[in-house]
Amino acid sequence: MPDQEPAITAEQIAAAETLLGLSFTPAQREQMREIISGRREQYENLRAADLDKSVPLSLNFNVNAADPAPAAVPRAYPMSAQPQVTRPDHLEDAAFLPVTQLAELIRTRQVTSLELTKMYLRRLKRYDAALQCVAAYTEELAYEQAKRADEEIARGLYRGPLHGVPWGAKDLLATRGYPTQWGAAPYVGQQLDVDATVVERLEEAGAVLIAKLTLGALANGDVWYGGTTKNPWDTSEGSSGSSAGSGAAVAAGLVGFAIGTETMGSIVSPSTRCGVSGLRPTYGRVSRYGAMALSWSMDKIGPMCRSVEDCALVFSAIYGPDGRDMTIGSEPFHWDPALDPKALRIGYVESAFEPEAADTDDPEKQELYRDHLENSVTVLERMRGLGFEPIPIALPDREIGGMWTILAAEAAAAFDQITRDGSVDQMKRQDDSAWPNVFRAARFIPAVEYINANRLRSRLMQDMARVMSEVDVFIVPSHGGNAMLITNYTGHPTVVVPNGFTRKGSPTSISFIGGLFKEAETLAAAKSYQDATDWHRQHPDLEAALAQRDDL
């Protein structure tokens, strides 16, 4: 955008409102000015792209308006050999066990599901005071499901490794009989008379839902109507978002596992901040029926757990078509914990591991970036020590800033009603980058720019297809190399695992990103690293977290 081009004025916004049949206040127009003015540069980038007529939209039009029939997919739950697990003298000592070991305690009837459910509920109620990670308890349902699990297991009906394991749902997944409030004041008290497909499928697997966990308001950040969800390792920090409560609760040993969602970093970021393992599946793998929509072309649902193998087991239960979400494919997921990942072509984003990757003009961020980079470099060293020979690769060098138009426009459409009726003003965050301002400013995005942003997305998808023709999985610092942004636009799966701590004691992570529908291979590569480390077996001092809260 030329330097001399004047900024958009409030008067110009008011005139555009007249054309669009909208009405905003003078203060709201003033707040929107920076976003709308800045978007002109994004539009210039979109218009400068060489989009010939052969480049299609990255969205598919389906002439069949009926929901697709659900397709049968394999649901096997193979597990790697586990060390012998015995009931601890104090059951709370089992709080940080992974699902694989909780499952053995339940399967061998050393521990009942009801006992675990009561233990985790006690922990939730004790530590939520410090973490602010619970949106609503589902206690009555939990006791009912736990008792049913114990009765079934006593009769010899064992559904698999999730049977009887307590879990938490990000509070944008509808659960009949309980509030689903999306983290936002306009929806406090909302009850939806359906169960999300993910909730149904986990109930079919025998899992026990004990709580709805917080999310940043309307899936943005870690600030919700009740406060800010905290990082269990350092409660002076937020837990990052938007799957804030899911990350905090898993890290703090308050649930056996949790479900999160991601549109643009909402599994990867809180998994990193809280030190848990997360799987962001390929787009179109897990039904979003009953889940709050933010961006129809980008939203994804996945597990957040204490180990990579736990993620594989949970994903086995929730993936596949349901006859309700028309974006879901029927590609099978075959988890093989014995798969030799050395048979895979493993790459790494070379530029993201170079010293310059930590450079920043912000002195407060310099040390943080350096810590993340140093821990990422040790991952490559460890992988080489395990016998891997990572191949250097480069991600597409394409201007992607204009593609933010896609998320902004779709999110604004999803919440058009509360923007126009003014109830969006009830939300706790009202700063320039918060949703209320973004929603209002998005009403001025031209439809042509939204369509061309999606056409550029098609180009990016083709670029990534060429990259993934060279490797099966690649490694990258979780917030490095633009990888998280690129692969959320292109729909590739990511497994994020803890890989150390900053000098201040907060966790860091590394990401393994795979080809489309290659969750099994991506999980196998990540598991090979995780099995050679113990970062995932470390956990925060929650009594210190309570004390830290009392001192604030």
Alpha carbon dihedral 113, 118, 120, 121, in 10-degree steps, equals: 140
Of 2, 10, 27, nearest to 437 by C-alpha is 27
Classify residue 282 by its DSSP letter: P
Measured distance CA(10)–CA(316) in Å, rounded? 52
Token duo for residue 192 = 């939806």
Percent of the chain, pLDDT > 70? 98
In this predicted structure, the answer to whether residue 16 has a pLDDT above a threshold of 70 is yes
The pairing of beta strand 223-224 with beta strand 227-228: antiparallel
Token duo for residue 470 = 């060279």
162-171, 352-361, 523-532, range with the lowest pLDDT: 352-361
What per-residue confidence (pLDDT) applies to 363?
76
The boundaries of every CATH 3.90.1300.10 domain in the chain are 91-329+343-347+472-551
pLDDT tens digit string along 228-280?
A: 999 999 999 999 999 999 999 999 999 999 999 999 999 999 999 999 999 99
In this predicted structure, the answer to whether residue 67 has a pLDDT above a threshold of 80 is no
The CATH code of domain 91-329+343-347+472-551 reads 3.90.1300.10
Q: Give catalytic residue positions.
A: 170, 242, 266
In this predicted structure, the answer to whether residue 12 has a pLDDT above a threshold of 70 is yes
What per-residue confidence (pLDDT) applies to 419?
97
Phi, psi of 162 (to 5 degrees): -95, -5
In this predicted structure, the answer to whether residue 540 has a pLDDT above a threshold of 70 is yes
The average pLDDT across 29-53 equals: 93
Q: How many CB atoms lie within 10 A of CB 258?
A: 28
Token duo for residue 491 = 């729909």
Q: How many CB atoms lie within 10 A of CB 8?
A: 20
In this predicted structure, the answer to whether residue 405 has a pLDDT above a threshold of 80 is yes
In this predicted structure, the answer to whether residue 416 has a pLDDT above a threshold of 70 is yes
The average pLDDT across 111-130 equals: 98
82 or 552, which is more confident: 82
pLDDT tens digit string along 451-477?
A: 999 999 999 999 999 999 999 999 999
4-13, 126-135, 210-219, range with the lowest pLDDT: 4-13
Which one-letter amino acid corresponds to residue 386? L
Classify residue 535 by its DSSP letter: G
Contact between 167 and 210 (Cβ < 8 Å): yes
Q: What is the DSSP string of 108-120?
A: TTSS-HHHHHHHH
